[in-house]
């Protein structure tokens, strides 16, 4: 259970001077918002709140989280009690007088930690979906304590001795492949995290982990503070170029912040991106761009530069204790890439084509910019705006026209259709209130097998942006599928930050956002399709887990989805054939921008983690690294260092952001398997192999072996180049 618990814990983010007197970027005070938090409590209330957080889940569907009852006041004592219970379970295994076996050691460990895991489910909601100043204070207090707790397990010498004994025993040879994989992952989890150290080195390893937990938490909270605190308020005469849906969302956001009659552009990607795409106010675009890309880099109490330097230095010191030359070498050892050199080789094979495409894109944009607006250079805050003009010029494709056919609810129905065709899943919304939710925007569906009607699990959807919710989109589970100790069905969740449509109107999103919607649903399907026996086997391999979700994006552009679910929000008429043709013709449009901004982040991440970071200056390192790569001036990293939460608010993606591209090679290659099959993207035979070999096995099979079982060979990087419209040579 410790891996599941650690994962849950790790996942639990410039003030610009105004140019006109009517425009201002305002720093706002964050209001407290939490799940049933009381201001005045007594000890009895605390004990009751603690008991609720620890309690086994009641109700239908094998029990569900009590989101409607839990309170922050019980969180600290519940975590402390959960840790105490878990350590007692671990000590019982470690001190057993029986000879170590698979059942009494490895399987016994899989049965531990459920009390604490239930508390972490609520922790995750308070951290990501319903954050507040009160929770952040608790988070900062508990982060080092939780790190110390995990170190006690990872560094338990008696426990590791038993795990090591099983790992080296003849018993393993008689176990099933799935059980052998479990033994390997359990042993490797200890060996790679300080269990083999002794004395001062072991203590220092644990101390570093505690300090990193504090820094990761502070980094993420600093980013979230900058996202919440700075808002650009506009008046009616500053809305040039903005579409009806953007204006409506901005008006709603302003009213929520007590600025009725104005229009708020918030400091999140879902607000920034459309504004930069459509606003004709170049000076305002620059302000919005600067606010967004300077998150965590404003020289104030929320500045992350010093935190980055300390994180990198501590990570480097820690892996030095284990004998690795750099952090990335340690991190990638058990990934598909195996080494930073292999990951860098992949990225550098794509980089030249990406930046060459950027040169072409900038030339096209500058031609329009000079002719229409007299500009002499495409600045970063111009890229989206003029790219949209080029799109219209080259393909006669208007993104806002496409948006009229992309209704959030209809897209959800389309995802259900795809899940039905590929996985035989059926989704039925639960409307009777039997499943509690943590916010009124959250809806829940039961997932069953279409043929047998067998219950598979629940799917929670939290789609809209709000205060206290971290930016971006993500998927998670509240309970994973297992069978080793009685069958447990899945509780999965998708979370997004779409700007809610005004009352009575559907929420319309961009094509890119629709791809993200499908992407995150791909993660949910990966959870729901699991057929593994043990909890640890539901863990992921970072440069592989994005593959399944990226693959699902391809179904958005299939004829079945376009013809049946992409209908105009006013007329209800399906998307015209000529518009569909334009979308498909423009499928590789702007790939220079998309690929370069991503790869820049991935390469800087890898460079951060392959150098000696002593005395490192994050901003200078970022600039120097990008200059050495000949980074185009009109583009910046998708995630600049000071708000790169993937790698600095935890360790999930640290030196592993490349994993999206590694997975995209698999994605493009697998998509060609469907495209070239008799049934296309709904081919039954290919779909069956997909579910059997790539979704249901989770981490019970080595990812490289799993992909070969599906495709009959390794993935070919040329498929990625073809997918992005980049030139493919025999030397690739």
pLDDT tens, position by position, 421-461: 999 999 999 999 999 999 999 999 999 999 999 999 999 99
pLDDT at 17: 30
Q: Which residue, 470, 475, 498, 497, is CA-closest to 407?
A: 498
d(CA 606, CA 343): 9
Tell me if 291 sits within 8 A of 25, measured CB to CB.
yes
Compute the average pLDDT of residues 151-178. Answer: 96
Mean residue pLDDT of the chain comes to 92
Give the helix/strand (H/E) hosting 719: helix 717-723
> Which residue did the predictor score with more confidence, 545 or 423?
423
pLDDT at 34: 44
**How does residue 120 score in pLDDT terms, banded at 50, 70 and 90?**
very high
Catalytic residues: 520
Tell me if 552 sits within 8 A of 521, measured CB to CB.
yes
Residue 1 has pLDDT above 80, yes or no: no
Which range among 64-73, 319-328, 717-726 shows the weakest confidence by mean pLDDT?
A: 717-726
Centre a 10 Å sphere on the Cβ of residue 327 and count the other Cβ atoms it contains: 26
**How does residue 13 score in pLDDT terms, banded at 50, 70 and 90?**
very low
Residue 212 has pLDDT above 70, yes or no: yes
Tell me if 527 sits within 8 A of 490, measured CB to CB.
yes
Residue 2 has pLDDT above 90, yes or no: no
**Interval 690-731: pLDDT, tens:** 999 999 999 999 999 999 999 999 999 999 999 999 988 764
Q: Are strands 24-27 and 230-234 parallel, antiparallel or unpaired?
A: antiparallel
255 CB contacts (<8 Å, ≥6 apart)? none
Residue 24 has pLDDT above 60, yes or no: no
Compute the average pLDDT of residues 50-58. Answer: 97
**Centroid of chain to Cα 719:** 24
Q: Are strands 443-449 and 474-479 parallel, antiparallel or unpaired?
A: unpaired
* 131 CB-contact burial (10 Å; exposed 0-12 / middle 13-18 / buried 19+): buried
pLDDT at 37: 47
Q: What is the DSSP annotation of 628-667?
A: HTT--TT---SS-GGG-HHHHSSSSSTTTTTHHHHHHHHH
**Interval 103-116: pLDDT, tens:** 999 999 999 999 99
The stretches of 20-113 forming alpha helices (DSSP H) are 43-54, 75-94, 108-110
Tell me if 360 sits within 8 A of 592, measured CB to CB.
yes
- Angle, CA 457 vertex, CA 451 and CA 463 arms, to 5°: 115
Rg (C-alpha) for the chain, rounded Å, is 25
Q: What tokens does 105 get?
A: 């050691």
Which range among 36-50, 155-169, 549-563, 566-580 shows the weakest confidence by mean pLDDT?
A: 36-50
Q: Euclidean distance between the first and final Cα of the chain, in Å?
A: 43
Compute the average pLDDT of residues 149-174. Answer: 96
Compute the average pLDDT of residues 261-277. Answer: 94
Residue 311 has pLDDT above 80, yes or no: yes
Tell me if 522 sits within 8 A of 549, measured CB to CB.
yes
d(CA 207, CA 184): 27
pLDDT at 270: 86
d(CA 672, CA 661): 17
Q: Which residue, 351, 418, 363, 414, is CA-closest to 631?
A: 351
pTM, whole model, 2 decimals? Answer: 0.85
pLDDT at 499: 85
Q: Which residue, 183, 185, 189, 154, is CA-closest to 170?
A: 183
Q: Which residue, 335, 344, 327, is CA-closest to 541?
A: 335
Q: What tokens does 350 get?
A: 């794509």
d(CA 219, CA 216): 5
Tell me if 208 sits within 8 A of 245, measured CB to CB.
no
137 CB contacts (<8 Å, ≥6 apart)? none
User: Length of the chain in residues, anyone?
Assistant: 732
Compute the average pLDDT of residues 343-366. Answer: 96
Compute the average pLDDT of residues 560-579. Answer: 95
- DSSP conformational letter for 446: E
d(CA 531, CA 684): 20
Residue 599 has pLDDT above 60, yes or no: yes
d(CA 13, CA 643): 7
3-state class (DSSP) for residue 484: strand
E strands of 88-196, at which residues?
none
Compute the average pLDDT of residues 110-131. Answer: 97
pLDDT at 542: 83
**How does residue 38 score in pLDDT terms, banded at 50, 70 and 90?**
very low
**How does residue 501 score in pLDDT terms, banded at 50, 70 and 90?**
confident
The interaxial angle of helices 340-373 and 659-675, nearest 10 deg, is 80
Q: What tokens does 348 get?
A: 């550098």
* 47 DSSP β-pair partners: none
Q: Count CA atoms closer than 13 A to 518's CA, side-chain side.
A: 25
Tell me if 33 sits within 8 A of 146, measured CB to CB.
no
- Angle, CA 191 vertex, CA 189 and CA 197 arms, to 5°: 135
**How does residue 40 score in pLDDT terms, banded at 50, 70 and 90?**
low
pLDDT at 5: 54
**Interval 616-647: pLDDT, tens:** 999 999 999 999 999 999 999 999 999 999 99
pLDDT at 56: 97
d(CA 323, CA 613): 17
pLDDT at 31: 39
304 CB contacts (<8 Å, ≥6 apart)? 219, 222, 223, 296, 297, 618, 641, 642, 643, 648
Sign of CA dihedral 394, 399, 400, 403: positive
**How does residue 30 score in pLDDT terms, banded at 50, 70 and 90?**
very low
Q: What tokens does 115 get?
A: 């009390």
**Interval 402-412: pLDDT, tens:** 999 999 999 99
Cα 194 to Cα 54, 92, 321, 338, 701, distances in angstroms: 30, 21, 8, 20, 25
Percent of all residues in the chain with a pLDDT value above 70, rounded to a whole number? 94
Q: Which residue, 525, 448, 462, 498, is CA-closest to 67?
A: 462
pLDDT at 19: 34
d(CA 607, CA 465): 33
């Amino acid at each position: 259970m410790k891996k599941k618990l650690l994962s849950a814990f790790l996942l639990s983010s410039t003030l610009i001077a105004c140019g006109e007197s009517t425009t201002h970027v305002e720093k706002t005070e964050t209001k407290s918002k939490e799940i049933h938090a009381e201001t005045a409590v007594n000890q009895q209330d605390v004990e009751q709140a603690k008991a609720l957080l620890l309690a086994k889940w009641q109700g239908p569907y094998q029990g569900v989280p009590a989101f409607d009852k839990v309170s922050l006041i019980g969180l600290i004592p519940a975590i402390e009690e959960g840790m105490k219970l878990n350590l007692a379970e671990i000590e019982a295994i470690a001190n057993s007088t029986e000879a170590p076996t698979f059942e009494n050691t490895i399987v016994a460990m899989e049965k531990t930690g459920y009390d604490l895991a239930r508390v972490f489910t609520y922790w995750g909601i308070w951290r990501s979906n319903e954050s507040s100043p009160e929770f952040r204070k608790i988070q900062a207090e508990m982060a080092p304590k939780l790190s110390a707790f995990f170190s006690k397990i990872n560094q338990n010498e008696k426990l590791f001795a038993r795990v090591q004994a099983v790992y080296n025993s003849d018993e393993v040879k008689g176990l099933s492949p799935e059980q052998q994989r479990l033994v390997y992952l359990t042993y490797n989890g200890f060996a790679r995290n300080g269990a083999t150290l002794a004395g001062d080195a072991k203590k220092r390893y644990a101390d570093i982990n505690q300090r990193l937990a504090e820094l990761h938490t502070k980094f993420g909270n600093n980013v979230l503070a900058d996202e919440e605190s700075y808002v650009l308020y506009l008046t009616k005469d500053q809305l040039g170029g903005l579409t009806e849906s953007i204006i409506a969302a901005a008006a709603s956001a302003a009213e929520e912040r007590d600025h009725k009659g104005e229009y708020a552009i918030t400091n999140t990607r879902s607000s920034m991106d459309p504004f930069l795409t459509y606003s004709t106010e170049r000076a305002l675009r620059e302000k919005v761009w600067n606010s967004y890309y300077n998150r965590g880099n404003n020289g104030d109490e929320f500045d992350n530069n010093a935190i980055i330097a300390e994180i990198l230095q501590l990570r480097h010191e820690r892996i030095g204790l284990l004998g690795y030359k750099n952090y990335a070498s340690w991190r990638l050892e058990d990934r598909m890439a195996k080494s930073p050199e292999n990951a860098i080789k992949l990225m550098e094979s794509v980089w030249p084509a990406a930046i060459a495409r950027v040169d072409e894109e900038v030339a096209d944009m500058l031609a329009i910019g000079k002719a229409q607006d007299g500009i002499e250079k495409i600045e970063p805050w111009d890229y989206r705006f003029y790219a949209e003009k080029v799109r219209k010029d080259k393909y006669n494709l208007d993104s806002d026209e496409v948006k009229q056919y992309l209704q959030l609810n209809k897209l959800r129905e389309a995802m259900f259709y795809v899940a039905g065709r590929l996985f035989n899943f059926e989704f039925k919304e639960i409307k009777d209130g039997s499943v509690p939710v943590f916010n009124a925007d959250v809806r829940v569906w039961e997932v069953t097998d279409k043929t047998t009607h067998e219950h598979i699990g629940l799917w929670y959807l939290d789609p809209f942006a709000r205060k206290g919710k971290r930016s971006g989109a993500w998927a998670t589970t509240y309970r994973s599928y297992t069978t080793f100790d009685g069958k447990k069905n899945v509780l999965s969740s998708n979370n997004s930050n779409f700007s809610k449509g005004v009352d009575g109107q559907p929420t319309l999103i961009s094509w890119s956002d629709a791809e993200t919607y499908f992407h995150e649903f791909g993660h949910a399907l990966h959870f729901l399709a699991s057929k593994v026996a043990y909890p640890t086997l539901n863990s992921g391999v970072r440069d592989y887990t994005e593959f399944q979700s990226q693959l699902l994006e391809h179904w958005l552009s299939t004829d079945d989805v376009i013809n049946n679910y992409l209908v105009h929000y006013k007329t209800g008429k399906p998307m015209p054939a000529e518009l569909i043709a334009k979308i498909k013709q423009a499928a590789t449009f702007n790939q220079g921008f998309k690929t370069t901004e991503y790869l820049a982040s991935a390469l800087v991440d890898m460079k951060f983690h392959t150098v000696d970071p002593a005395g490192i200056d994050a901003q200078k390192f970022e600039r120097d690294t990008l200059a050495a790569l000949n980074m185009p001036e009109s583009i910046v990293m998708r995630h600049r260092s000071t708000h790169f939460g993937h790698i600095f608010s935890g360790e999930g993606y640290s030196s592993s952001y490349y994993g999206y591209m590694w997975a995209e090679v698999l994605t493009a290659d697998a998509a060609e398997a469907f495209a070239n099959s008799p049934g296309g993207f709904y081919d039954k035979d290919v779909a069956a192999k997909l579910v059997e070999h790539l979704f249901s096995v989770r981490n019970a099979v080595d990812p490289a072996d799993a992909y070969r079982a599906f495709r009959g060979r390794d993935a070919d990087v040329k498929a990625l180049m073809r997918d992005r419209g980049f030139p493919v040579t025999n030397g690739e």
